[in-house]
A and B are shown apart, each in its own frame.
Chain A
Amino acid sequence: MSKRYGFVMLVYRCIDCKACQVGCWAENEVPLGKSRNWITKDGPKGKFPDLITDFLPGNCMHCGNAPCVNVCPTGASYQTEEGIVLVNKKKCIGCKYCMVACPYNARYYHPEEKTADKCTMCVHRLKEGLQPACVSTCVGGARVFGDLNDPDSQVSRLLRKHRAVVQLPQANTQPNVYYVYDSPVDKGGIAP
């Protein structure tokens, strides 16, 4: 079986430090003011002093059923065998259809390359046996990455142990990015 790469985001572990974001900016020379990944702050919810805040690390969901790929008129947006959604810069004409189609707002227009641009799972790093840049610098240990088809991978183990959800399930995009909301007390810890 081929690999299928994906992320498991451990919401409890994210401290909103944004090391992942800066790490990605450097790794991928992301144009100033654009971002391939982000943290969504959900909270504080409740009334003082009974409060909860969740931080949700995000990036392209590398959808199994990717609207961006489906609408791309040139075939520039495509999905690899391992499930990585990429943009072939040579084919991209910068029409921005994909940016409109993406329900997660994961793409931006690269002002110099004049193409759509987005998270690549740091595919160049994967080839060198490294983790994506955001994962390898994640201070809270919230971003976990690996092969979803390998039952022994960290991501698979986490998904077996915890209940996980995807963002916007109603959009039927079949994301390869999962979110675990369990707090440490639920399941005897959420260490990967």
Chain B
Amino acid sequence: MSTSRRDFLKGAGAAVAAGTGLGVPALGRAQGRPGVPAEPLKIGVLAIRAGIAAPVGTAGLRGTEWWAERVNRAGGILGRPVQLVVEEESNPKDTVERYRKLILQDKVEVVLGGISTGVTLALGPVAEDMGTPWLSWDGTTQKGVEETMPSTKWAFRSVDNEVEAIVAAMLTAKYFKGIKTVAGIGNDYSYGHDCWESYQAVLRRHMPDVKFVLGLFPKLGATDFTSHIASIQQSRADLLMCSFWSGDATIIMKQAAAVGLFKTMKGVFTTAGGVHDSLKKDFTPEGLLLGYNSMYFDDPKGSPLLKQFVREYKAKYNEYPPYECDHAYFCAESYKAGLEKAYAAAGQWPSKTQVVKALEGLEVESLSGKRSWREDHIQMCNFYQGITTHKNAYDFVTIDPLEIVSTKQAMKPSGTRLFDWISSWKT
């Protein structure tokens, strides 16, 4: 039974890959640059399209497909058309198998994608063995990285996921000065617990007198939080910090509104902006702190590239794009820039090692402005958070004022440990 299910998903993946590759034959002739192979450049993509993370996985894939179409319309990379080979990201074991298959059988030159913490931490050591660059969209938390990916040659990791909670704690101190007690809720896995620990550590630095009175961790995928909300009400906390990021963010917002939770307490949703267009005004109040991770679709100072992407995404999918599109676009665009940089230096189609070296420290224009790879292979970007407002043209909340915090401010420097770094702050 699991075989037929997997076959179905693989079939779906093949269909997407074929769809993306439809334009390839027409563009499939290199422009005659010296040392550039004529055949299409195969790029492997790992995307979750099933289960609770499907909305972000699908968004990442859409962002990559949009990038590939643009690149191919412009004549490819160094005249070489790109062809996406899409595989499903699921559990760590199966995803590792598909990752190997992409490299050994499909002969891709790079693998993009990976969202789940469990999967990315399993892929890290494998990427080092396979000797092919892997650029992760998302899904690396501090503890796991320290254990399985302390330093890498081939793996390029996402932003530390706790940054969302760290930025939220900084802004909590700025916007909710009077609070004395805080309750927290997050999913019962590493991300939920790590966010809560990070949030507490940072808020303690800014507001030493704040008490953390309750920490709740329902299991990932739960759809009923009425009892949790009752418990939060009983705690009489001044503020609720929530790190839900999928459909559960919408559910808790709705169930909280039904009992008037945010009439008596403040709310901080570190990354619920990932499902922003489901946070309808009907049940999402103004005055909450809401995080959008690395791209805010409605940024008034957004680049023409962002505006074009949002416009075309909305026209094609009838949705407004979430942040994962930006992580995915950045990975793909930086690989293109890395190839071009390495080619310029080598004078011929570069080796994988040359591409990896070119990527280190590279900065490119992404959907949220300039983004770069730190020398230790970690994404750098800006985080977008702000206070929810109903004053917009949508039926869901947006944020105003908009706060932009860079990873230089909110992510631990290379070679340090997170909580040591937070403890060293002068506030």
Q: Do these two chains really belong together in a complex?
A: no
